[in-house]
Amino acid sequence: MPLPKAELHLHVEGTLEPELAFELAARNGVKLPYADTDELREAYRFQDLQSFLDLYYELMAVLRTERDFEDLANAYLARAAAQGVRHAEIFFDPQAHTSRGVEMGTVVEGLWRSLGRSVENHGVSTRLIMCFLRDRSAESAMRTLEDARPHLGRIVGVGLDSAEVGHPPVKFREVYEAAAALGLRRVAHAGEEGPPEYIGQALDVLGVERVDHGLRCVEDPALVERLVRERVPLTLCPLSNVRLRTVDTLAAHPLPAMLDAGLMCTVNSDDPAYFGGYAGDNFDAVRTTLGLSEERLRELARNSFLASFLEDDEELRQRYLAEVEAYEFP
Ligand SMILES: [Zn+2]
């Protein structure tokens, strides 16, 4: 049995495996520029962020109907559950769909067909977080928030993702203020490729409760001290960092030093179909390559539930935490 954990940094569009991409393409009459799943899997060996993003957006063309989004989420939840994920807070990128003519309602209701039954079908509790594409305008993000209003019963919070450099958090100040006024939780990617200052901005200007990635905080000792003092959770994604060359090798990943410094780290998969593994694969990788002790792995699992947005179900959080404490490593 794998270590029970929550996944807090997961883009549902990034869980599209080549087999499902071809299945959905056939169902929707979309022609993919790849002969078969082998050739597509080969394309998944991209070399940098831009080639990843190009492929990522190209493949979204196969997602058209509610059923497509339902199937996508179900495929992820089945894989995550098999790797010990008990709770998942799932990102989606509405602008990547609305901009190609797929309506917000199709995306949210499609995902909900899966998420709404996830506890029964997969044994995984879920929350849904809507992300804004930071390389698009603040106005576009604000329109997206407006679009989402009829669906806010399904959405617990907002996030900020896509190409970070040159798109600082401050660009989205008004959008985050509006989201806060609607009672939405707030997270943002910061300090992945962008500088440590973006992490401080995400906290101070956007009021985020968790920082997605936050890896580059290690360059600023005063920032590390603040993150430790304020117990700000960081959603790290080690295999993603290696694939996107944010770190040179997994062995060079600062996770052990970050834990030693007292940072509240969690381990997540980001875009698992593209980055070489799901949540459990990331845990296995840091255990094997970074030599994390069982107590450190337990700490990561404990942090994932403490950092999750389960304030509306504290009883469930406590049950998960008890599972973590009772877990016996094989
Ligand atoms: Zn991400």
| Listed residue (201, 204, 155) closest to 179, CA to CA | 155
39 alpha carbon – ligand 1 mean position (Å)? 25
Predicted pLDDT at 46: 81
In the set 7, 39, 192, 315, the catalytic residue is: 192
pLDDT in tens, the chain (330 residues): 999 999 999 999 999 999 999 999 999 999 999 999 999 999 988 877 778 888 998 999 999 999 999 999 999 999 999 999 999 999 999 999 999 999 999 999 999 999 999 999 999 999 999 999 999 999 999 999 999 999 999 999 999 999 899 999 999 999 999 999 999 999 999 999 999 999 999 999 999 999 999 999 999 999 999 999 999 999 999 999 999 989 999 999 999 999 999 999 999 999 999 999 999 999 999 999 999 999 999 999 999 999 999 999 999 999 999 999 999 999
**pTM for the full predicted model:** 0.97
Report residue 8 as tokens.
């807090």
Q: Which CATH class is domain 5-321?
A: alpha beta
CA 288 vs CA 6, 96, 260: distances in Å: 20, 36, 18
Q: Rounded CA gap, 269 and 267, in Å?
A: 7
Q: Rounded CA gap, 110 and 40, in Å?
A: 25
326 alpha carbon – ligand 1 mean position (Å)? 30
What is the maximum span of the chain, computed from C-alpha positions, in angstroms?
54
Domain ranges of the chain: 5-321
Report residue 10 as tokens.
């997961």
Answer positive or negative: Cα dihedral of 100, 72, 15, 296. positive
**Binding-site residues for Zn(2+):** 9, 11, 189, 270
